[in-house]
Amino acid sequence: MSTYFDKNIDQNKKNWYLFDAENQVIGRLATIIAKILVGKHKPSYTPHVDTGDFVVVVNAKKGIFTGDKWKKKLYRDHSGYVGGLKTKTAEEMLKRHPEEILKRAVKGMLHKSKLARHQLSKLKIYTDAEHPHEAQNPKTWGVINA
């Protein structure tokens, strides 16, 4: 028995989904977003083809962590130079770049490849409730239970 991969995947049929991150656990929200970006929610999923959809996330600054993660979770960036390691807590990231917390969570759940970098570009994250993608008529995704 072999797995069938559809060769005639229509790349133009991309849906748009809208998520509200208010009072949602960031990790649980990120898993659902990653599945949609990859395309695993569709019956036409093919691993080597971008079958995923676009995702718009609003209210990113109102997402929550469980436990002590606001103080204990660390984000590290390295400049490439000796001693160039910069470390920030999740609390500091929320003050400066609240959308970056969710973006890094989703990025960590995708494969490390050129295709995943393309899939991540279909993720649009906004800190407030307004977004410029009303013309695409995004479908609201249901509430994720915390």
Q: Domain of 47: which CATH number?
A: 3.90.1180.10
Which of 2-6, 13-17, 64-68, 82-86 has the least mean pLDDT? Answer: 2-6
pLDDT tens for each residue of 65-118: 999 999 999 999 999 999 999 999 999 999 999 999 999 999 999 999 999 999
Q: Report yes or no: 64 and 23 within 8 Å, Cβ to Cβ.
A: yes
pLDDT tens for each residue of 18-71: 999 999 999 999 999 999 999 999 888 888 888 899 999 999 999 999 999 999
Prediction pTM value: 0.90
Domain assignment of residue 80, yes or no: no
| Side chain identity, residue 132 | P
Question: Could you tell me the residue range of the domain that residue 28 belongs to?
Answer: 16-66+98-140
Q: Please give the torsion angle defined by the CA atoms of residues 43, 52, 65 and 67, in that order, rounded to the nearest 10 degrees.
A: 40
Domain assignment of residue 81, yes or no: no
Domain assignment of residue 34, yes or no: yes
Q: Which helix (H) or strand (E) segment is 118 a member of?
A: helix 114-120
Both tokens of 19, joined, read: 């998520």
Domain assignment of residue 121, yes or no: yes
- Give the whole-angstrom CA distance, residue 115 versus residue 144: 27
Structurally, the chain folds into a number of domains equal to 1
Domain assignment of residue 42, yes or no: yes
Domain assignment of residue 10, yes or no: no
